[in-house]
Every structure is written in structure tokens, then in C-alpha cells.
Amino acid sequence: MPSKRRPTRPRSAAVTLAVGLAAALLGSAAPAAAAPNGPAAAASNAGPVVLVGGSLADDRIYDEIVRLAGGGDARIGVITASSRPESEDPDAGTPDCNNSRCNGEYYVDLLEAHGAGEAEWIPVDLDHPENAESAEVAARVGDMTGFLFGGGDQYRYVTTLLRGDRHEDSAVLAAVRERAAAGAVVAGTSAGAVIQQAGPMVTGGDSHPAIVDGSSPGYFEDPGVLGYVPEGGFGFFSHGLVDTHFAERGRQGRMARLALDTGQDRVFGVDEDTALVASADGGLRVVGSGAVHVLDLRGTSAGSDQGVWTATGVRWTSLTHGDTYRADTWTAFPSADKSDLVPESGDVRRGRDVFSSPDARPGEPGQMLRLARELVDSTTRTSAHGLSHERWPRLRVDLSLDARSTGYRGADEAVSFTDVRVDIGPA
């Protein structure tokens, strides 16, 4: 049964009130001098961008952020406006707190523990939307060498740091953009990574309803609906669409649908506890315990079969720690510790929950990735398929290897692959 779409709005009445206040304040503020919108300014970045897939724990990623920001001389601003505000947290002021202030303090302590000279929470959130236009707060941002945007809900970044329907920079975001143009690192985890993209920005959705119902511009109360912001996010990353918690939550389907619906030809999906480090020259590098996935849709055809949307010819590349990628040439390179994968197993188990449904999760998360890795390591198979947990309709994903497909195995047994073909349609 199709998901019921609701008017674009945040997902709680309390957030609705706060977002409305933020939009009113930002929308009525006088524009800062020469403050371009995010996507228009993307090409001016000189500093690196670090996109983390969420659940950040790997010391190598924190070390990388601090190093890029200047090590012991780093001054890092922490922005957690995507978290719920302190006023809405019943555990505020306790060790169980989960709000913008205490989350910001958590990141400040971690960054300083990893060697940053100084880290500071930037007090812009739904409790303090007016601070986004504060000259004093913008001045504090003006001498920082790096920024870390925390996780939560990326739409809160839109409503606090961008000016209403104009999608223009607030004073604080303009100051961050000026520092990035001068070489400061911009890092984000989960929602803080998604908001950095220039292209249409996903705001929610699960793969099965996304494939069946398609995408719609906006932000929806039903978290299963595939919504997006057409204007994109802040525009610091312009090489493709971005999504996080990628393999763990089976988001390949939702992002293939969003990209094809909006005319995009590349998606970067970042796994949990994993970072994609992008330099200004178009070079990208993987750091962390999971993988970064690239969906290449240049040769993909979208259609319909039995009334169900189909995608034919998606090319999937999955890269692990140390691997690199050139965005300008669409080329992946294995890390020095990896060698060509020599298949060792004949077993490929069929996936019965290929999109890792939030309603099921009967096995380990990331079942489509598991299926693909078993396929490239198989001595007997060149194709495999998985089924969605959801029925009405049940969906099928076919994976296949051809002359373009390659696999690599690292000294730590990490498996990377390139150009696995993906076809999506009804079972």
C-alpha cells in the first residue's frame, strides 16, 4: 500500500514551533554582505571535506579531522543544530542527555582529546536560531581552522543556518564558507555529512516505499517517505548525492530512486564509523572500519514492470580503508595493502531482506553488501539475487559480474569491489 504523504513539516509539534521561529528570524534578516547560497559557492572550496556515515568511533577519523585542521594549532568549531534542542530533552543536565548543547560538548571533549589545540561549541540551534545572524558568533567562527557538524536531522540545519525559502547563507554559515575557501576543513557525521552536498538532499525514506512510491520534494512526518530538498544542502561537496548509514540500513534502493528521479548520475553512500575524505582537487579517500559506496547511474535505465518501478544497469563500487577515488575520472584505486581478489568460496546465500528493512532485520544489517561480497568471492557464481522483506509488491535485486567488475582483498581481509551491476524490479 503506498505511503501516505503528509504536508512538509518537522516530525513533532515542538519542533514545528521552533522551526517556524527559526525560519521567520532567518527569512526576515538582512542578507549578509556577499553571502551566496550553498550550491553556488561550492566550487570556491579550498579546504578538505570529511563525510562520516554516523556512529563515529574510529580514532583514525577523529585524528584525520584534527590533522587536517592543523593538529595542535587547530581551532575547531562544533555545530550541532541538527540535534533536538536542550529545551526538548527530558534528560537535559543529566548523564543521559541527548541535545544540541551536550552533544556539542561531547564532540569538543573528543576533538581536544585527539590533539586539537582548541574546540568550541557554536551555539546555533532551535533554542537559539537568532544566533545564526549574530555578528558576535560569526566573528568567533571567523578564525577557526575546522568545523565538525554533528548528527541528528539534516533538515534542522536547513531551518537554522539557511535563510528560509531563499536558501541563502546565514551570517554564521557565510563565515564558515569563508573559512572553507581559505582552507579550513569541513567535517560532518550522519546528518552533518548529508547537509554538505550540493545536489538534491534526502530528508527521509526507506528503500522499499521509496522504490514503490517514488520521491517528493519536502520533509515528511512519515519517516518512510522519500523526501528531498531540491536546492540541496550547504554545497561544500559537489561530486554527487550523499547518504549515510548506507549499507547498514540498505539505502541503496532509496538513493538510486532519488538520483534517477532528480536527474543525478552519482551517489556516495558512507557506512557507519567510516569517512570519505575529499580534497579540493577531486581526490577522495576512505578512512575507517566500513565502506564508502559509489553508485554510478550514467548508464542506468528507469522503467516499469507490472506497474512497479525498475532500475536497470546501476554500477556499484564499494571501497574500504585506504582506497581512493578520482571524482573527475570516475576511477577507483585500491590501497597499497590490497591485491586482486582470488575467489575462495562457492557459497552465495540468497538475501531475504535485501534492503535491511527497519520492520524486519532478521539477520545482520547490510544484507545487500554481504550478498555482493559473497558474489565477488565466489568460485562458481557470476550472479546472485536478493528479495525485499516487504511484500505487495515484493522487490528483487539482481547482482551480476561482468568484464568490468573487479575485486580486491586487503591484508586485514577487507574486501573492496568495483562495477558490480545492480538491477532492481519486481520479484
Whole-number pLDDT of residue 27: 41
Q: Lowest-confidence range among 94-103, 162-171, 282-291, 296-305?
A: 162-171
Closest to 23 in 3D by CA, of 127, 168, 106, 129: 129
Q: Locate cell 544497469: which residue?
A: 313
Q: What gap in Å lies between CA 168 and CA 19, rounded to an integer?
A: 16
Closest to 23 in 3D by CA, of 116, 149, 130, 159: 159
Give me the chain's average pLDDT, please.
90
Q: What gap in Å lies between CA 392 and CA 394, rounded to an integer?
A: 6
Given a cut of 80, whether residue 12 has pLDDT beyond it is no
Q: Are strands 118-121 and 75-79 parallel, antiparallel or unpaired?
A: parallel
Q: Confidence band (pLDDT; 50, 70, 90) for 326?
A: very high
Q: What gap in Å lies between CA 405 and CA 158, rounded to an integer?
A: 39
Which of the two residues, 40 and 45, has the higher pLDDT score? Answer: 45
Q: Indicate yes or no: pTM above 0.75.
A: yes
C-beta separation of 318 from 369 below 8 A: yes
Whole-number pLDDT of residue 99: 98
Given a cut of 60, whether residue 17 has pLDDT beyond it is no
Whole-number pLDDT of residue 420: 98
Which of the two residues, 2 and 307, has the higher pLDDT score? Answer: 307
Residues marked active site are found at 190, 213, 245
